[in-house]
Structure 1
Amino acid sequence: MKKFIASLLMLLFIFSSISHPLAFPSQNSNKLAVLFILDRTGIEDLKKYDLPNIKKLMEKGSLALMNTRTAGSYSEPAAYLTIGTGTRAAVGEMGGLCFNKNEAYAYTSAENLYYLYTGREVEDNDIVNIGIQDLISQASNLNYTVTPGLLGQILKEHGIDVYVFGNGDVKTPYGTAYNRYAALIGMDKEGLARGDVSESLLLRDENSPYMVKANYKKLYEKFLEASKEGGLIIIDPGDTLRADAFSKYTTPSLANSYKEKALKEADELIGKILNHMNLSKDLFIALSPYPSSSDISKNNLITPVIVAGPSFSKGLATSNTTKREGIVTNLDIAPTILKYFNISPPIEMLGHPIKTIPSDNALSKLLKDDEMIVSVHNARTPILKGYASIFIILVILYIVLLFIKKDYLGYISPLLLAVITVPLTFLILPLLGPLNLYSNVIAIVLITIAIDLLVMLSSKKDLDRVMIISLITSFAILVDLVLHAPLMKNSLLGYDVISGARYYGIGNEYMGVLLGSLIMGTALFTEKYPKKIVKATTFLLFIAAFFLMVMPQFGAKVGAFITGFMAFGTVILMMSGVKITKKHFLIMFVLMAISLTLMFAISTFLGTMTHMAQTTLIVKAEGINSLFQIFARKLQMELKLMKYTIWSWVLVISIVALFVVSYKPTGVLQEAFKNHKYIYTGFFGSIVGMLFALGFNDAGIVAAATMCIYAIPPILLLLQKNENHG
């Protein structure tokens, strides 16, 4: 019996040791992902040229415009490195230097130089980045975690092969410009990779820019060999880069023909690769890490990306980073590749996996979106600077006239009304489509005049006009938020996809506008109709606005939670007859902190990927020090904005104006507030909102300044009214 049991146990052991790998095969066995580089290619190029294989790819996969922002100064190697880190990265003088280990550079081999700089042997790898220490040094200067080589390192640790083939080298009589940036995506954290980025993948061709072109036959052979075991294969023919770099030396028509040739040959290689792949199980990504020189000259820094594979279908690509149809970021590429290999992206990767939104006309939609995005980006800064400057001038002029020519104050009133109307105009403006700078200015002036004429015809009192404009503005923003912000997304006062600070929800500019217009609008309305039903309606509006600003599917704004809670809470208490003290503020702040903590917890538990949830996960993964880094980064941004943005002057001039009118003419402002307690309530609530916007928002100075647009003019008009009666 003992022998039988022993034999049975032995059989079970042998069976389990044999069957275990059969029962649980590797999830990544023979999985193949290809990242194909079409550098310096724009969305227009996909329509302009006859590229049959890329067209087929778009029929099977998802298309998007990709934000290409990096850390520090904008550069091509940084754009590639950012893709590989999943976090905005920077590259210094040497960080982009990648070579096959046996290639000669600076009188010796790249392998020897690598050892000289790092003290490490190259061993089995083919490619070395001799500037890896430079990349690490650059990363250490950023106030957030960046790991050069992170994507390659993670794949390596999971036993997944990574290969890099091709280069964009440019040969001139003065030497070679080495453009082997694809290795920055696929290398590990030691700056090592497998593959070939050497000159052996180039052919002499006297009809191509710089008389060289990619050896497409050899690239394909390299792909076939590497793809046998699966893994990630990064291919960069480099001809699109060479064609673009050469365009400054030749005529526009020849530059166009060179670019067309480069894209068509890349398209042929894509076709061969796709014939070898099965997109029901393999992943194929084609993208341009960096825009063309022509697009850069137009400030168009977004490039196309196509993703095809088992979880993708015909349509628009998006991600939780942007939550916008057809918009992704370079931070999303690495998480998408890792997800394909069933690997959870590390928390330091700030991007999210790309997914599909079905659409039959992705390319035509993105061509229109691209035009609108560039239009907003180019018009945004000059128009907002001009608008803020006009506000500053009007406030200063009003204060001056208050002392020397009170009779002229009446001429300023319509202009103050116009200033209050402009944020509403900015919200309406996207309905006209993309406009150039001058057309934008003309449209803003005409729309503002039209709105103000209608308001002035409906009411003869200045404060009533301010009330109407403020309420219409706040209602328009609330409706837009309910509809997922279609107007705000394309507004000059909304987001700038190219700068990439925010892609969804409510931004600082419109957060300040909504808080300021709703608080002062309802305060003026309650002053006019001080009834319980009006107060009750105001409270309900505040609650609705608060939730629309903070809920993940609508506003998704953490700073709005803090600012709105305190500002709305102050107004509600004061309208309820409570005399606000320090104790009330302390209680409100504690309640706000508890509520915010609960919202963080719920957001994390439900897996809702917002800025709030991501912050929680970063702190959980990296410790409390990461929270201090976030605060430091936000403080750094705030100080930078205070120094350089004109919004800081809006805030400063508003404060100075309030200080002046508080003391001169003596007692007039206090008397005015005594006789208009609800206007005082709205004003005081706005001040509370400004203080908390400044203290608890990155770029909070912008939110505080846009709140001033609605808080200051009513006070000036109230003074004018009291002066006239006096």
Structure 2
Amino acid sequence: MLKKIILIVIIIICFKNKSYAANNDKNMLLVLDNIDYEIINELIVDYNCSIGLMNACIENYFKDIDLDSYFMTIASGEKIKAKRQLDNILTLSKICNANHKKLKYIGKGKSSILIDKDYISMEEKEGLDIIYRKEWLIEKIDNFFHDGDLLIVDLDIDNIEERKEVFKDILSIYNRRANILIISQGVPQKFRVRFNKTIVPVLYIDKHKEGGILTSDSTKRIGIISILDLFPTIIKNMGISTTNITRGSPIYTIKGNPNRWESIFLNSVGMNIIKYIIYGVFVFIQSTVIVRYLLNNGYKYIDVFLVNTCQMAIFISLVMGIIIKNLDIYIYLSTVFFVSIGWSFYSRRSIGNMFDLLSVFTNLIILYGVFFNIEMLYRSFIGYNNILAGGRFYGLNNDILGVLLGTSIITIFYIKKYIDNKFFSKMIIICYIAIIYIALSSRFGANFGGYLTAIFSTVFVISKFIFKRRNKISSIVFLIILVGILVFVNIYLDYISYDIGYMGRFISRIKEIGSQEIVDMVIIKAKQVLFMIIVPPWSITFLVHIFFILNLYRKSYKQHINLSYIDISFFVIMFFSLLLNDTGVTTFFYINTYYLTYKIDMQMKDHTFKIN
């Protein structure tokens, strides 16, 4: 009992003084057993509904959603597994109780998990069996809305027309009297296409706004929201501040054609398939090339052709992101493979290897997307954020991070190679590195692990090529201070900005919750890194590439050949990317994609190396 009293006091301190007293909106959460295409289209047209696609993944997006975890996550705004207790976690019921907001539940379904029965009055504990008659249900809702704030109704429509009509009657009466959020119990049957087990539709009626398409600051994607966004949306609509400690952000409506939801859905699940097909092809090609190299101590021309095809496929995908708006899986895959293969065949025979130049162009087109057209990156297989997994919704994922970092090394050495004036070369490199930092910062690429990787790796380039000071101690101190300043500036600017991002929200939670938030984050990230290293297919690619790198190092050591700065730069950036990113194995893989191509290119140009 004492623990509950203390928890209520904490909730009041966190939320009470920040509530919006003037907001007296009535709010309704309707939980349907199923939301099919027909219902969605009718609600959009007839009831001024906005629509979005919600990622409902709690743990593993290859498995069906566990409904207990699903509703516990909605109730708390944190991803919670079914076996975990809610005693020490803020929930809708606890916040309503602390802020004198009245909550009631009507129904007998799984969604009853949304209410914490210890924090609502006795007469509301058991719920009510619903009688699917308009008069009965409207009477119950009216009685509650006389002095209530949030009503949760579980409707088991079961594809029965009479029940559908009752549902529509509720919307027609209350769509201008209350904010209405409509969700389904798990993934509707008609959304279970192309291996989708996590994307569900969400419909929303904001009594103050016209219908449109949903988004949130958690995803920064048109038509996409997160399951963690429902909790702050509901409490904000009741006039309670969400504060920065909530992991999600309130959803809101933007102008646009709500019928776009279907193309957004099909593009998302389609690109997920494309991403893994191409990744599988890349793994096969690179593993084959590396194993043959290890066995034969050299490459064949077919190996050169294959690695160049991989490099061109990445570039073509980025170009297609600019051109193609609506996705067709077969056309996309055919275009990427045939154009890449054709170009690799033609370039080897007619104009020679263009590895350096193609790497530079790939790098520049990614930077263009980061600063001017981020959606084009999402439409490429390399830049697509896996909406089905829900780990990242916006910014640069760890795949395209690997491409950006790998091509950045090539670009820096390309500048150094072709600009003879040392002063101008250094100045251009410094400006270019600064651009990479900005591209990865919270305001653009929003990849903090990539930002740290770039800082720790490029200080090596700076120390070797720019400053070259004799006083090693002062140089080391200078670089440590430089790293600290760059990290602090990125976090601080995100924290104070209106549109707060990942790191800003993380710092806010540390201030409110304490150092345990850091410990939890480190544990989660460490588990993810370890998981990616030991579980196939990522473990296979990791081991193959590690053998390749160790073999190169062993040969250099035996032959008393010093590794070049570009070799060391690749090794350093691969090492940091692996450790500082939760899916660092994929970053490692794509950086090594360019390193492998670079080594083959160098051996093609140097006749002292063996080419079979």
Once residues 580 and 695 of structure 1 are traced to their aligned partners in structure 2, the CA distance between those partners, rounded to angstroms, is 31
Matched, 1:160 2:95: no
**Deviation string, structure 1 residues 490-536 (Cα, Å, up to 9, x no partner):** 33222011111111111111111101012123314533554434443
**Deviation string, structure 1 residues 317-367 (Cα, Å, up to 9, x no partner):** 2111101111111211121121122212265531111122222x122x211
Once residues 306 and 193 of structure 1 are traced to their aligned partners in structure 2, the CA distance between those partners, rounded to angstroms, is 31
Q: Answer whether contact 1:322 1:328 (CA < 8 A) is retained.
A: yes
Aligned to 1:695: 579
Once residues 384 and 200 of structure 1 are traced to their aligned partners in structure 2, the CA distance between those partners, rounded to angstroms, is 50
SS, match of residue 307 in structure 1: strand
Q: Answer whether contact 1:156 1:188 (CA < 8 A) is retained.
A: no
Once the 2 structures are TM-superposed, how far is the Cα of residue 299 of structure 1 from its aligned partner?
2.7
Once the 2 structures are TM-superposed, how far is the Cα of residue 586 of structure 1 from its aligned partner?
6.3
Question: Counterparts of 1:149-188 in structure 2 under 5 Å?
Answer: 150-167=91-108, 180-187=109-116
Cα distance change, pair 650–668 in 1 and its aligned pair in 2 (3 A): farther
Aligned to 1:283: 179
The match for 1:57 among 13, 33, 47 is 47
Counterpart AA for 2:439 = L
Q: Answer whether contact 2:130 2:137 (CA < 8 A) is retained.
A: yes
Once residues 508 and 586 of structure 1 are traced to their aligned partners in structure 2, the CA distance between those partners, rounded to angstroms, is 30
Cα distance change, pair 76–191 in 1 and its aligned pair in 2 (3 A): farther
Cα distance change, pair 434–602 in 1 and its aligned pair in 2 (3 A): closer
Once the 2 structures are TM-superposed, how far is the Cα of residue 564 of structure 1 from its aligned partner?
1.0
Cα distance change, pair 69–661 in 1 and its aligned pair in 2 (3 A): closer
Counterpart AA for 1:519 = I
Q: Normalising by structure 2, what TM-score?
A: 0.86
Aligned to 2:4: none
Q: Answer whether contact 1:347 1:621 (CA < 8 A) is retained.
A: no
Structure ID, larger Rg: 1
Once residues 193 and 710 of structure 1 are traced to their aligned partners in structure 2, the CA distance between those partners, rounded to angstroms, is 65
Matched, 1:643 2:561: no
The match for 1:546 among 427, 437, 448 is 437
Question: Counterparts of 1:604-643 in structure 2 under 5 Å?
Answer: 604-643=495-534
The match for 1:351 among 223, 248, 272 is 248
The match for 1:601 among 492, 496, 512 is 492
Matched, 1:447 2:339: yes
Matched, 1:221 2:209: no
Q: Answer whether contact 1:566 1:589 (CA < 8 A) is retained.
A: no
Once residues 610 and 415 of structure 1 are traced to their aligned partners in structure 2, the CA distance between those partners, rounded to angstroms, is 39
Matched, 1:475 2:364: yes
**Deviation string, structure 1 residues 386-427 (Cα, Å, up to 9, x no partner):** 32222121122233332xxx5x62332121211222322332
Aligned to 2:278: 383
Aligned to 2:225: 328
Matched, 1:574 2:464: yes
Once residues 388 and 193 of structure 1 are traced to their aligned partners in structure 2, the CA distance between those partners, rounded to angstroms, is 60
Count residues with an aligned counterpart: 584
Once residues 595 and 531 of structure 1 are traced to their aligned partners in structure 2, the CA distance between those partners, rounded to angstroms, is 28
Cα distance change, pair 644–40 in 1 and its aligned pair in 2 (3 A): farther
Cα distance change, pair 599–724 in 1 and its aligned pair in 2 (3 A): closer
Q: CA RMSD in A?
A: 3.1
Once residues 561 and 593 of structure 2 are traced to their aligned partners in structure 1, the CA distance between those partners, rounded to angstroms, is 21
The match for 2:169 among 257, 263, 268 is 268
Stretch deviating more after TM superposition (480-489 or 188-197): 188-197
Cα distance change, pair 57–29 in 1 and its aligned pair in 2 (3 A): same
Counterpart AA for 1:63 = I
Aligned to 1:395: 290
Counterpart AA for 2:150 = L
Aligned to 1:370: 265
Q: Answer whether contact 1:642 1:648 (CA < 8 A) is retained.
A: yes
SS, match of residue 253 in structure 2: strand
The match for 1:295 among 179, 191, 209 is 191
SS, match of residue 27 in structure 2: strand
Once residues 467 and 454 of structure 2 are traced to their aligned partners in structure 1, the CA distance between those partners, rounded to angstroms, is 20
Question: Counterparts of 1:82-121 in structure 2 under 5 Å?
Answer: 82-92=73-83
Counterpart AA for 2:307 = L
Once the 2 structures are TM-superposed, how far is the Cα of residue 550 of structure 1 from its aligned partner?
0.8
Aligned to 2:428: 537
Once residues 659 and 581 of structure 1 are traced to their aligned partners in structure 2, the CA distance between those partners, rounded to angstroms, is 32
Cα distance change, pair 29–297 in 1 and its aligned pair in 2 (3 A): closer
Counterpart AA for 1:559 = G
Q: Answer whether contact 1:54 1:270 (CA < 8 A) is retained.
A: no
Aligned to 1:716: 600
Once the 2 structures are TM-superposed, how far is the Cα of residue 82 of structure 1 from its aligned partner?
1.5
Once residues 192 and 473 of structure 1 are traced to their aligned partners in structure 2, the CA distance between those partners, rounded to angstroms, is 61
What is the aligned-residue identity percentage? 18
Gaps of 5+ in 2: 1-18
Q: Answer whether contact 1:321 1:328 (CA < 8 A) is retained.
A: yes
Matched, 1:504 2:400: no
Q: Answer whether contact 1:662 1:670 (CA < 8 A) is retained.
A: no
Q: Answer whether contact 1:489 1:503 (CA < 8 A) is retained.
A: no
Once residues 606 and 294 of structure 1 are traced to their aligned partners in structure 2, the CA distance between those partners, rounded to angstroms, is 40
Gaps of 5+ in 1: 1-24, 93-134, 141-145, 168-179, 203-213, 244-257, 674-679
Aligned to 1:488: 377
Once residues 157 and 190 of structure 1 are traced to their aligned partners in structure 2, the CA distance between those partners, rounded to angstroms, is 9
